[in-house]
A and B are shown apart, each in its own frame.
Chain A
């Protein structure tokens, strides 16, 4: 019965699957209404764009626009709006306001002769994005078995912890890095939180631009250089590399040690001889800026050592329009 149902469903799936010939990104251009525009010639139409979410000072800004991959045009907004005349047919727009907003890409917009189509366009700020700080894991490597207490104070809401976090994690730690908490053994402590961050800007941030094929070897090289063990490296790479490899190219910047206080404060008792924190911010990146290269410091693993790694995927400003 189960099998028949499955075959039947599979048949339906195959028979009605819809394949796209082009990217179907609806994005943030929302059709509002149309009205006749008899003043235009028969083969011309007009798009009327109205931006939502602009700051007051940008309502009459000069913006940059490209229609159908053509040359950049500079257009002055009037009260957050502008009209654009285009031949009847299908058009695609890229619009850049300024670096406070992400570039906007339209889907195919169709217009007929002597028609005026109104679209509202949702802008997205590059500042104050809600980003999830993903998978920080904390490993403790004491020299002898002893009790421990770890507290994390994230700069945002704690979204997930494991094992259960109740003002702190406490238990016994062992030299093989086993953590004994409430009678159970764990290899690491885990937390995630949601925080406010700004988009990454490779023009202003030191880091690396890495092509898809190079991501795995890049991470292996950097983590080795910094001093991750094979197990820590595997935890890091199996978490991040598959996500990053979905993109043709990424921008990567690392944060180490005290810099990581911007994500969370970490308090550990007894005080470790060495506490290393290693975070990676990355985002899909289309641009061709060569960022300033970043120097990384290496771990010294002597005495009671604590390693924490984490990271976040952050939208990256591409500035693909030639400005």
Chain B
């Protein structure tokens, strides 16, 4: 009956119908392994630490399967301990309906070995919450030539499923004005826009510097930093009205910025004629659970003399700093 070939859409705000980003996400990461002499030759222990677990679900009764056998046990705070015989196992974990089930590949463990894994939980969407963000950057590009100039802007996006606006055919050929107006196909725009699915950036870096921002400080934090860096008020408003609400949904957020060459990993940006300055500035945000302290990042300052190009973007991440190990 064809009617049932439906995927998931409605209950879920529809956000998971195409779950490619979810499938691509690395959700089981080995953190360390060591030999424990106190274990017998026929014994081995797995520890799984669940990231992204809500406080109220710590210690929750959790179902898991080891190859074909199913078990139910309580978490020890955020951790599941599985003592088993040495061997190779495929596992699945299901805490409750607030989180997607997590499946592992084959994990091999030797006699007397202890392996510790981090498992990144993904929350299932809730009617009262925000839908899951796909892994996106949301860059807008502003052009400020010194005089009216014809400019070719090329973005070579490294992510998937790119979206462009206005319409992009290998290049945006535009005429830009010193006040930032961009004329393209007879229409006037403030910025060029692209977006794509990409990996979770914070999951890939070892976050050693950044900012911990409580909800009610989100706007003043962004205003202060963006002003100090050299955003003008229009750029700042575009940035804050996009990212501010994403910070404001979290009690507390971890914020980290990337700028300039570092952003080449998301997309190469080529501009002809060559600007005096190309500035790229990306924000990465994840909801923080619990206390966490970070040394602040030292941020750059933009020189806005001459022909200047500014791009900003960012990503909402599922990253949780590992405070339990």
**B32 → chain A, closest Cβ, in Å?**
10
Q: For the complex, give the distance between the alpha carbons of A19 and B90 in Å.
A: 12
Interface residues of A in 71-113 (CB under 8 A from B): 71, 94, 102-105, 107
**Structural contact, B4 and A66, CB atoms closer than 8 A:** yes
A25-33, A54-62, A272-280 - the one binding chain B: A25-33
The total of chain B residues at the interface (CB under 8 A) is 73
Interface residues of A in 269-297 (CB under 8 A from B): 283-286
Q: For the complex, give the distance between the alpha carbons of A66 and B131 in Å.
A: 27
**Structural contact, B244 and A20, CB atoms closer than 8 A:** no
B37-45, B49-57, B102-110, B293-301 - the one binding chain A: B102-110
Q: Which residues of B contact A132 (CB under 8 A)?
A: 130
Q: For the complex, give the distance between the alpha carbons of A17 and B105 in Å.
A: 7
Partner among B4, B100, B163 whose Cβ is within 8 Å of the Cβ of A26: B100
Q: What are some 22 contacts across the A-B interface (CB < 8 A)?
A: A9-B204, A10-B204, A13-B203, A16-B26, A17-B28, A20-B22, A24-B103, A25-B100, A26-B99, A102-B10, A103-B11, A130-B128, A186-B233, A186-B234, A190-B241, A231-B190, A246-B17, A283-B13, A284-B9, A284-B15, A316-B9, A318-B6
* CB-based nearest A residue for B206: A5
**Structural contact, A13 and B97, CB atoms closer than 8 A:** no
Question: Which of A20, A28, A107, A237 has the most chain B CB atoms inside 10 A of its CB?
Answer: A20
Q: Which residues of A contact B27 (CB under 8 A)?
A: 18
List residues of chain A with CB under 8 Å of any chain B CB. Answer: 2, 5-6, 9-10, 12-20, 23-31, 66, 69-71, 94, 102-105, 107, 122, 124, 129-130, 132, 134-135, 137, 159-160, 162-164, 184-188, 190, 192, 199, 216, 229-231, 234, 237-238, 241-242, 245-248, 283-286, 313, 315-318, 320-322
The answer to whether B195 has its CB under 8 Å from any CB of chain A is yes
| A-contact bits for B1-33, CB 8 A (1 contact / 0 none) | 101111111111111111100111011111000
**B164 → chain A, closest Cβ, in Å?**
9
Given contacts A187-B237, A246-B134, contact A18 B104 (CB under 8 A): yes
Q: For the complex, give the distance between the alpha carbons of A14 and B233 in Å.
A: 42
Q: For the complex, give the distance between the alpha carbons of A30 and B117 in Å.
A: 25
* CB-based nearest A residue for B11: A102
For the A-B complex with A315-B10, A320-B6 known, give 12 more contacts whose Cβ atoms are closer than 8 Å: A6-B206, A13-B29, A20-B22, A192-B245, A229-B188, A247-B14, A248-B17, A284-B15, A284-B17, A286-B10, A313-B13, A316-B9
**Structural contact, B96 and A23, CB atoms closer than 8 A:** no
**A323 → chain B, closest Cβ, in Å?**
10
**Structural contact, A137 and B26, CB atoms closer than 8 A:** no
The answer to whether B271 has its CB under 8 Å from any CB of chain A is no
Partner among B8, B63, B163, B190 whose Cβ is within 8 Å of the Cβ of A245: B163
Given contacts A6-B205, A27-B97, A320-B3, contact A16 B104 (CB under 8 A): yes
**Structural contact, A20 and B103, CB atoms closer than 8 A:** yes
Q: Which residues of B contact A15 (CB under 8 A)?
A: 30
Q: Which residues of A contact B12 (CB under 8 A)?
A: 25, 315
**B100 → chain A, closest Cβ, in Å?**
6
**Structural contact, A6 and B204, CB atoms closer than 8 A:** yes
* CB-based nearest B residue for A27: B97
Q: For the complex, give the distance between the alpha carbons of A20 and B92 in Å.
A: 11
**Structural contact, A162 and B13, CB atoms closer than 8 A:** no
* CB-based nearest A residue for B91: A18
**Structural contact, B97 and A28, CB atoms closer than 8 A:** yes
Q: Which residues of A contact B63 (CB under 8 A)?
A: 31
**Structural contact, A162 and B204, CB atoms closer than 8 A:** no
Interface residues of B in 168-222 (CB under 8 A from A): 187-191, 193, 195, 203-206, 219
**Structural contact, A23 and B219, CB atoms closer than 8 A:** no
* CB-based nearest A residue for B28: A16
The answer to whether B292 has its CB under 8 Å from any CB of chain A is no
| A-contact bits for B233-258, CB 8 A (1 contact / 0 none) | 11001001100110010000000000
